[in-house]
Structure formats: structure tokens, C-alpha cells
């Protein structure tokens, strides 16, 4: 694969271009930065620095060097002259634009193109701008076209969209990924409305087709990967585009608007999240953003400001995704994956850059104009559900605009509990909700299918939306009732209404308190088997949430949070402090610490790793730790220090061979330095089929196994979970995976070891009885799933569960197992 070197007078610019090129399509490409000089923050270039970067990026396929101006070119030439002759012939200095060229080159390099083809793609990086500005590109600037529709007829397919919500943001995001994973040009049209064709790799363009349930779409693809691209989309459609079948298929109709009489002081809205809330009104109004209209004086600076603001907003969206995933669930968190795709959409950004260059608009004015035009395209659609996506575009746009204007994000902070009165519940606002303070929500606009409403439902906060402008007349601290079941808001209720709804609220609170109290209690089956229901966590904050949710302990501490997003490896003292803080939050609950599980798919910035064609089958997990002993030995010393103070479980990831386990244990013994602490248990993850198949031998050297069903499923079924075309195959309830779990349990039972599961299936109450029937005694999951799984454990009878497990092992497919669990019948 061709390597790429970025040479700039500014170290930050070079590193920023590398980061952008990686994120825009070159994640597996050897991209290196050679910016600035040895003097910190000094502008300039250094031939020796460029030489080192070329060495780092070098491969037999060659290295492309992109430079900004002046001495950068001369330093690059000097560095090439210092190379040995054989290498010098494989290095090409390219005059392409730095940013656009780097992105185009990285994309081409990832596809395995030759050095000359990568250079030509880089030179064609300005094509988008040239087309927008009406500038004719010279022949030398034309990029290599991976696909030419004129070469022949397309591969095409017609799909009737069956999922209830149509191609709303999350399935549309999955569609874009599936279409863009192959070497093909893919277009899609809506056969029912006549809209299209549009680029299938543009999220915003796809959404403007207005595809709803029952619409037929025509997908056409050209190029070497055309057939694979079409099959990927077909597989995604067969999987309901990743949407659960049980989602609502119709807009709810509020009781008051269907003819029922409103109570005194009542306002009709739409039920968005069930439940009843009563409390004082808490007004929240976002401050309007005034967009400057002055003309731009420095075009390149305005574009740089826009790029910086987009990047900052993208980072914030990633943080929001993580927060919502912890508090509400991974499905709800996908909302922010769609937001990132909206933000990165080249149509949206290209339109803004064109306005800056063509109309001399400032960055804020240009981007906001582009955002409003995109939102209007959504709002022109007939489907109310898709019109809500226009609000998401505005939400994303305002995030970028705040960065451009230097305005801090306005956080939703409530000093005292109450009912939130807000004009619109955006996903950004909803992500910041504190359910302990926000008792209910009422909005003037929006619908029950908005992403803000989805998050409110996941958090369990009663909400009514679309109440209308009269809601804005509600004065702060006025008593308000939110009836999320019927879509009614009652302002300043009468004494009788207040008492009646207060009784309902009290009953809800009692039920919630009982559920919370029950979740904190040990979970045992009807025949008395105690099952440890633990949490998967990745931070101290997660540990606190897990305890509050009733976790019996931590079944998986992902220690990667200590190693990622920093420039140096954490010290032993830093790690010990972090583990001690988490242990303190857990009290006497068990803590299972997984050693570092990273690799080329999750690279460490301070650890040099060669790019891998398939990082999931490469140097990751225990393989990387054994190759980089300092990483593992430092971590083990920190864990052993903690084990001297309290019981701790250490767990090694991605064990595939007995030799790996023995070497990991040897390093652990070295860290102990004497007699092993009595409270230290040693276990391994069962994620690789070979480990399950030799579990009987591995069990002699461990105290426990923890089965990572996410990876075990993808390795067993040869289906990468991140590949939309095959992800549906990686089902942990496939009989093949279940047999590996059963094999592991039987092997452990013969050596007095116990078995847990820490994959996502552990948090699915529908699978609890089956997993317990297979002999699993510990289940570890995201904290929000704990109460439901504990309830499922308490309704399970061991003998009945064993019978279900026996029948599931004889099933022919994952779907047959799932049908059996739903119906209780034999597959």
C-alpha cells in the first residue's frame, strides 16, 4: 500500500491534515506528518524530519509526498536526495493541493492503487471546487476514475423498503456505509416518487428521496465492486436496515385532538414518552445566534476556520454518543453516528466552501446558508418522520456555528427538579438531560419520532411535544402536569387535578423505587441458583452508574480509556490510581480488569504499528501485549498492587493458544514477584473459536472464562460486525456459537472454573434463560440493562432452562433459536 507524507511549515497543519485524511477514508494508510522544526511551535521545515517521515511511511509500493510551499518543497527534495537510490525511485513529490490532495490520495491508497494512480487522484483533489466554480480542469488534473458508468450496463436491484420508519437517519447512515464500502459508484432513486437518482454515499442526498415504508427504491452500481455493493445493500434491506421490527408504524394521535375534552388549563400535544410528571415549570431557551454577514477578506483563512469548527463539532458529537450510549443505550446513541455523517457530508461542506470562494461569504454565513438549504430539502418532504431530520440538520449546524462564532455551547442545567419547558427538544439538549432533575418535558414544536423524543423515552422521562406557542406563555415555577400517555400538558391545574395526578406520580415513584431496590438485590433463579449480574464499564463514571443500576460487580473493565487519546503510555502509578478509584466506587463488589485490548483497529498514537489489511485478524489484544512487553508488564504491576489491597480479577483478551496463556501467566508471576495474592483470580476471554475448542486444556490454568460473544460470533461465522453486508450473520444465538459456549462451560466445570458472558447478548433478557440453561453463572452488560436481566433471572427455572438450551443446540439457525425463545416452541 502506498504511504503518504505531509510536509508543512506548521507542525499542527501537517498533523491536522494527516488526521483529516485518516478520518475521511485513509484509516489503514501509512500517513505521516513532517511539519515544523525541532523548535516547538516554530514555523519552518526540516529535511531530516521529512527523511524520517518517508522512512516511516515507506513500502515497496512507494511513498507520495505532499508539500505546502516554499522551503517545504526544497526540504522534501533534499530528503529524497539523501535516500539510497533504490528507495529514491519509489518516492514521488507531488504538486497536488495539500488538504484535498491528501484526502484523495489516502482514499486511493487504501484501495490499493499504484503510486502513479494515487498521485493522479491527489492532483484531482480540486475537481469538486473546479466544478462548483465553473473552472475547467486540465487533463493532468483529472483523477483516476474507479468507475465509469459508460463502460457498461449497471448492476441494479429494486428493493421495497419494509422497515416501519423507512430510511430515516440511522438506517440511512447504515445504507451509506454499505454502499460506500466497495469499489463502485452507487446511485439510488425512489421509484414511487420519482425523486433521484442521487449519490448513495451522501446521507443528506439519500434522505431527500423521502423513502418511507412501502416505497420501492432502485439501486444501480457500476465498477469492479458493483455486484458486491448491490449485495451489501440487499443484505442490509433483508435485515430491516438494522431497525427493530417492533418500532411504531404510525404517528400517535393525541387524545385531546381526537375529540376528547381537555381538562381545565389543558394544552393538547403529542405523546412522546410515556408516564406522568408534575412539578414547577423550568424554562430553557437557547440564546439565538446572530450570523455575521460581512464579506470574507481572507478566503483560505475562512475555509480553515470552517474545517476547524467542523472537526471540533465532530469530536463533541463523539462525546455525546458515548454519553448517551452509557445512559440510554447503544441503539439510541446511533443518532449521533448519523449526525457525524450529516456533518461530514461533502455536499453540505462543499456548498459552504463554494459560497466562501464564489460569493466571498464569511465561514459562518456560508455554512449556515448551506445548513438551512439542506434543512429545507428535508422539510419539503411529505413524510412527517423525515421532516424531523431537518431539525437534526439545524442542530448539527448550530453546533458548528457556535464554534465559528466563539460561543460556548449552552448546557441544560437545572438547579432544582421540575418540568422542562423548551421550544424544541433537540438531540443535543436531550443528551444532556439529568433524569433526577428533569421530571417531565413539554415542547412547543417537534414530533414523537424526533431523535430528542427517542432519547427521552430511553431515559424514561415523560414527554409531550408539539404543544404549540401557548406553552411559551407559561411562567417559571408555575405548576405543570405532563401526561405523556395521552399527550396533554395541564398548566396551573386545579386542586382536584393536582391531587389526582400527584397520586399517579406517587404510584409511579413507588414502582420505580421497588424496581431499583430489587435491582440492587442478588438475582437467583426459582430453584435457588445465584447469578452474578455485572456491568461492562470503561471509566470511573461508568462504575458509579453501574452501582446505582444495581450491578453486582464489574464483569469487564475496558482499560483502553487509560491508553487512548494521549501521547504517552500511562505509568504504573497512573493506572493504579485509576483502578483504585473504580474499586472504591464499587465497594466490596468484584472487579474484573481486562488487560489492554487494542491493535491496528484501535491504534495507540505512541506505539508504532504497521497498517494491517485485516486488523481484526492481526496483532491485537494479547498478541500486541506480548509483542510490546512494557505495555503488559506495567499494567500487570498496577493490577497486582491493587490485588494486594482487595480482591481483583485479571482477564487476558483474545487468547487463541495455550502458549499465549502460559506466557501471559509467566509475566503475571513476574509482576507478583512471590506468592500470588489470595484475592487475585486469573481468567481469559473466550473470543476466538480455537480457545473454546481447547477450553478443557486452558481451564487448568485459569479460575474463570468470560465469553465475549461479539467477537466470538464474528470469528465463528466469518462475518465482521462492522461490515453492513454480513453483520447480520454474526448472531450470538447461532447454534454454532451456542455450541462453543456449551463446550466452554463443560470444560470449565471439570476444573472448578466458572464461566461468564460479557458480550451484548448478556444484556438481552430474552436470551437470559437460554444462557443460564447452557450453564453460565455470570452475565455482564451495559448498566441500563441490569434491572431487566435480573428480573429475567428470577423467573428462570434451572431444569426448564436446560431443556431450552438443549433444543437450541439442535436448531438449524439463529432465527430458529430466536423464534423458539419468543414462542417457547421447539425449533
Q: What CA–CA distances, in Å, run from 485 to 239, 443, 493?
A: 31, 15, 17
Q: What is the pLDDT of residue 248?
A: 39
pLDDT at 103 over 70: yes
Q: Could you give phi then psi for residue 607, rounded to 5 degrees?
A: -125, 115
451 is catalytic: yes
The whole-number pLDDT of residue 778 equals 97
pTM of the model: 0.50
Q: For the residues 357-366, what does the mean pLDDT come to?
A: 92
Higher pLDDT, 212 or 160: 160
Q: Quick one: pLDDT at residue 617?
A: 82
Residue 369, number of CB atoms within 10 A of its CB = 17
Beta strands in 123-275 (DSSP E): 155-160, 185-190, 198-199, 216-222, 266-268, 270-273
pLDDT of residue 326: 57
Mean pLDDT score, 627-643: 94
Residue 468, sorted as left (phi over 0), alpha (psi -120 to 50) or beta, turns out to be left
Cβ-in-10-Å burial (0-12, 13-18, 19+) of 382 comes to exposed
Q: Is 94 a catalytic residue?
A: no
> Could you tell me which CATH number the domain at 299-405 has?
1.10.274.10
Please list the residues that pair with 270 across neighbouring strands. 465
- Comparing 210 with 544, the larger pLDDT belongs to 544
User: Residue 431: exposed, middle, or buried by beta-carbon count in 10 A (0-12, 13-18, 19+)?
Assistant: buried
Task: Give 599's DSSP letter.
Answer: B
Cite the residue boundaries of each domain of the chain with CATH code 3.20.20.60: 521-823
User: What average pLDDT does the chain have?
Assistant: 82
Q: How far out from the chain centre does Cα 584 lie?
A: 29
Name the more confident of 203 and 128: 203
C-alpha cell at 435: 433524569
**Comparing 154-163, 628-637, 699-708, which segment has the lowest mean pLDDT?**
154-163
What's the pLDDT band for 379 if we cut at 50, 70, 90?
Answer: confident
> Is the preceding peptide bond at 197 cis, omega within 30 degrees of 0?
yes
Which residues have CB under 8 Å from 745's CB, separation 6+? 755, 774, 775, 776
Return phi, psi of residue 206, to 5°.
Answer: -60, -40
Residue ranges of the chain assigned to CATH 3.50.30.10:
256-286+411-495
* pLDDT at residue number 218: 93
Confidence label for 724 from pLDDT (cuts 50, 70 and 90): very low
Interacting residues of 294 by C-beta distance below 8 A, sequence separation 6+: 362
- pLDDT for position 683: 97
Q: Dump pLDDT digits (tens) for 246-298.
A: 443 333 434 443 334 577 778 888 777 878 889 998 887 666 778 888 998 89
Domain with CATH 3.30.1340.10 in the chain: 149-242
Model confidence at 601, pLDDT cuts 50, 70, 90, reads: low
Sign of the four-CA dihedral 624, 626, 631, 637: positive
pLDDT-derived band at 674 (thresholds 50, 70, 90) equals confident
Q: 3-class DSSP state for residue 484?
A: coil
Burial 73-98 (b: 16+ CB within 10 A, else e): bebbebbbeebeeebeebbbbbebbb
Dist. CA 283–CA 280, nearest whole Å: 10
Question: Smallest Cα–Cα separation from 760: which of 791, 744, 737, 736?
Answer: 737
CATH superfamily of domain region 149-242: HPr-like (3.30.1340.10)
Instruction: Lowest mean pLDDT of 340-349, 757-766, 776-785, name the range.
Output: 340-349
Q: Which of 151-165, 417-431, 495-509, 748-762 has the highest mean pLDDT?
A: 748-762
Q: Look at 4-8, 143-147, 311-315, 694-698 and tell me which has the smallest mean pLDDT.
A: 143-147
Is residue 754 scored above 50 in pLDDT? yes
Question: Which positions ≥6 away from 130 have C-beta within 8 Å?
Answer: 136, 137, 141
In this prediction, residue 327 carries a pLDDT of 56
Helix/strand/coil percent split, the chain, to 5: 50, 15, 35
Helix, strand, or coil (residue 105): helix
Burial class from Cβ neighbours inside 10 Å (0-12, 13-18, 19+) for residue 642 reads buried
Does residue 138 have a pLDDT over 80?
no
User: Are the CB atoms for 554 and 591 separated by under 8 Å?
Assistant: yes
Contact partners, residue 67, CB within 8 Å, separation at least 6: 7, 8, 73, 76, 93, 98
Asked whether 215 and 192 are in contact (CB, 8 A), the reply is yes
| 622, 660 Cβ separation under 8 angstroms | yes
Q: Can you give 384-406 as a three-state secondary structure string?
A: HHHHHHHHHHHHHHHHHHHHHHC
Q: Can you identify the CATH homologous superfamily of domain 521-823?
A: Phosphoenolpyruvate-binding domains (3.20.20.60)
CB-based contacts of 459, cutoff 8 Å, min separation 6 = 327, 328, 430, 433, 435
In the prediction, which pLDDT does 510 show? 75
CA distance 13 to 721: 34
Domain 256-286+411-495: which CATH class? alpha beta
Mean pLDDT across 631-648:
95
Mean pLDDT of 137-153: 45
360: left (phi over 0), alpha (psi -120 to 50) or beta: left
Domain with CATH 1.10.274.10 in the chain: 299-405
Q: 9, 451, 498, 751: which one is catalytic? A: 451
Q: Which of 238-252, 452-466, 547-561 has the highest mean pLDDT?
A: 547-561
Mean pLDDT of 639-652: 95
Q: If pLDDT is split at 50, 70 and 90, which confidence band does 385 have?
A: low
Identify the band that residue 507 occupies on the pLDDT scale cut at 50, 70 and 90.
confident
Single out the residue of 25, 94, 26, 14 nearest to residue 62, CA to CA.
Answer: 94
Percent of the chain clearing pLDDT 70 (strictly above): 82
CATH number of 3-141: 3.40.50.510
Q: Can you give the pLDDT at residue 553?
A: 96
Q: What SS3 state is found at 437?
A: coil
Given the C-alpha cell 484526502, which residue does it identify?
A: 103
The whole-angstrom separation of Cα 669 and Cα 675 is 8
- What is the rounded distance in angstroms from the CA atom of residue 128 to the CA atom of residue 134? 10
Distance CA(406)–CA(419), nearest Å, equals 31
Work out the burial of residue 255: count CB atoms within 10 Å of its CB; fewer than 13 is exposed, 13-18 middle, 19 or more buried. middle
| pLDDT for res 140 | 39
DSSP result, 615-635? GGGSSBTHHHHHHSHHHHHHH
Distance of CA 47 to the CA centre of its chain: 40
Amino acid at each position: 500500500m502506498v504511504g503518504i507524507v505531509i510536509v508543512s511549515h506548521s507542525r499542527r497543519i501537517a498533523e491536522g491534515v494527516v488526521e483529516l485524511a485518516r478520518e475521511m477514508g485513509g484509516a489503514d494508510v501509512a500517513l505521516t506528518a513532517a511539519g515544523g522544526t525541532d523548535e516547538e511551535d516554530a514555523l519552518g521545515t526540516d529535511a531530516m524530519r521529512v527523511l524520517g517521515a518517508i522512512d516511516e511511511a515507506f513500502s515497496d509500493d512507494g511513498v507520495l509526498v505532499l508539500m505546502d510551499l516554499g522551503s517545504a518543497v526544497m526540504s522534501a527534495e533534499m530528503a529524497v536526495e539523501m535516500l539510497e537510490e533504490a528507495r529514491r525511485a519509489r518516492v514521488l513529490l507531488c504538486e497536488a493541493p495539500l488538504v484535498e490532495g491528501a484526502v484523495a490520495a489516502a482514499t486511493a491508497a487504501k484501495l490499493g492503487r499504484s503510486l502513479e494512480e494515487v498521485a493522479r487522484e491527489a492532483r484531482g483533489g480540486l475537481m469538486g471546487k473546479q466544478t462548483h466554480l465553473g473552472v475547467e480542469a486540465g487533463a493532468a488534473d483529472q483523477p483516476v476514475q474507479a468507475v465509469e458508468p459508460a463502460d457498461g450496463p449497471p448492476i441494479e436491484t429494486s428493493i421495497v423498503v419494509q422497515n416501519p420508519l423507512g430510511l430515516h437517519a440511522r438506517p440511512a447512515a447504515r445504507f451509506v456505509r454499505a454502499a460506500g464500502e466497495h469499489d463502485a459508484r452507487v446511485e439510488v432513486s425512489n421509484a414511487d416518487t420519482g425523486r433521484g437518482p442521487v449519490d448513495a454515499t451522501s446521507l443528506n442526498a439519500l434522505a431527500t428521496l423521502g423513502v418511507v415504508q412501502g416505497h420501492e427504491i432502485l439501486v444501480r452500481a457500476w465498477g469492479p465492486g458493483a455486484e458486491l455493493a448491490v449485495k451489501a445493500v440487499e443484505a442490509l434491506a433483508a435485515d430491516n436496515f438494522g431497525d427493530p421490527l417492533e418500532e411504531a408504524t404510525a404517528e400517535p394521535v393525541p387524545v385531546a385532538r381526537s375529540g376528547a375534552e381537555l381538562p381545565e388549563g389543558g394544552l393538547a400535544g403529542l405523546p412522546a414518552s410515556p408516564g406522568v410528571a408534575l412539578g414547577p415549570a423550568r424554562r430553557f431557551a437557547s440564546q439565538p445566534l446572530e450570523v455575521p454577514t460581512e464579506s470574507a477578506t481572507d478566503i483560505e483563512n475562512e475555509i480553515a476556520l470552517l474545517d476547524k469548527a467542523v472537526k471540533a463539532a465532530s469530536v463533541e458529537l463523539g462525546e455525546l454518543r458515548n454519553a448517551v450510549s452509557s445512559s440510554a443505550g447503544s441503539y439510541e446513541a446511533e443518532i449521533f453516528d448519523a449526525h457525524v455523517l450529516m456533518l461530514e457530508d461533502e455536499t453540505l461542506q462543499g456548498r459552504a466552501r463554494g459560497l466562501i470562494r464564489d460569493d466571498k461569504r464569511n465561514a459562518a454565513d456560508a455554512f449556515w446558508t448551506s445548513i438551512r438549504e439542506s434543512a429545507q430539502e428535508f422539510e419539503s418532504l411529505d413524510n412527517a418522520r423525515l421532516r424531523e431530520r431537518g431539525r437534526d440538520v439545524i442542530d448539527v449546524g448550530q453546533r458548528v456555528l457556535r464554534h465559528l462564532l466563539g460561543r460556548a455551547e449552552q448546557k441544560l442545567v437545572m438547579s432544582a427538579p421540575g418540568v422542562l419547558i423548551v421550544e424544541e427538544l433537540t438531540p443535543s439538549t436531550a443528551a444532556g438531560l439529568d433524569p433526577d432533575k428533569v421530571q417531565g418535558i413539554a415542547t412547543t414544536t417537534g414530533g414523537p419520532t424526533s431523535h430528542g423524543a427517542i432519547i427521552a423515552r430511553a431515559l424514561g422521562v415523560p414527554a409531550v411535544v408539539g404543544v404549540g406557542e401557548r406553552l411559551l406563555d407559561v411562567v417559571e415555577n408555575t405548576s405543570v402536569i405532563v401526561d405523556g400517555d395521552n399527550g396533554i400538558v395541564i398548566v396551573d391545574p386545579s386542586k382536584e387535578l393536582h391531587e389526582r395526578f400527584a397520586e399517579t406520580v406517587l404510584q409511579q415513584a413507588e414502582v420505580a423505587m421497588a424496581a431499583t431496590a430489587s435491582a440492587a438485590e442478588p438475582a437467583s433463579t426459582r430453584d435457588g441458583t445465584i447469578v452474578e449480574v455485572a456491568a461492562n464499564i470503561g471509566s470511573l463514571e461508568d462504575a458509579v452508574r453501574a452501582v446505582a443500576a444495581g450491578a453486582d460487580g464489574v464483569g469487564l473493565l475496558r482499560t483502553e480509556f487509560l491508553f487512548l487519546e494521549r501521547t504517552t503510555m500511562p505509568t504504573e502509578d497512573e493506572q493504579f490510581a485509576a483502578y483504585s478509584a473504580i474499586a472504591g466506587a464499587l465497594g466490596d463488589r468484584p472487579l474484573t480488569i481486562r488487560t489492554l485490548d487494542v491493535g491496528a483497529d484501535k491504534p495507540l498514537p505512541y506505539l508504532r504499528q504497521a497498517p494491517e489489511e485485516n486488523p481484526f485478524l492481526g496483532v491485537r489484544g494479547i498478541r500486541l501485549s506480548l509483542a510490546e512487553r512494557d505495555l503488559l508488564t506495567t499494567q500487570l504491576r498496577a493490577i497486582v498492587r491493587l490485588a494486594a489491597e482487595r480482591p481483583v480479577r485479571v482477564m487476558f483478551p483474545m487468547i487463541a493458544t495455550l502458549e499465549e496463556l502460559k506466557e501471559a501467566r509467566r509475566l503475571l508471576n513476574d509482576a507478583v514477584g512471590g506468592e500470588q495474592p489470595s484475592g487475585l483470580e486469573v481468567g481469559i476471554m473466550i473470543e476466538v473459536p480455537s480457545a473454546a475448542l481447547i477450553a478443557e486444556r486452558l481451564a487448568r490454568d485459569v479460575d474463570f472464562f468470560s465469553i465475549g460473544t461479539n467477537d466470538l460470533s464474528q470469528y465463528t461465522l466469518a462475518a465482521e460486525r462492522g461490515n453492513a453486508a454480513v453483520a447480520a450473520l454474526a448472531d450470538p444465538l447461532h447454534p454454532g456459537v451456542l455450541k462453543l459456549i456449551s463446550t466452554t462451560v463443560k470444560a470449565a466445570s471439570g476444573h472448578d472454573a466458572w464461566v461468564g458472558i460479557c458480550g451484548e447478548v448478556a444484556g438481552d433478557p430474552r436470551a437470559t434463560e437460554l444462557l443460564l440453561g447452557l450453564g453460565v453463572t455470570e452475565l455482564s452488560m451495559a448498566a441500563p440493562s441490569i434491572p431487566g436481566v435480573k428480573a429475567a433471572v428470577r423467573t428462570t427455572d434451572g431444569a426448564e432452562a436446560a431443556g431450552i438450551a438443549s433444543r437450541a443446540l439442535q436448531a438449524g439457525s439463529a432465527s430458529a433459536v430466536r423464534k423458539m425463545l419468543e414462542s417457547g416452541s421447539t425449533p
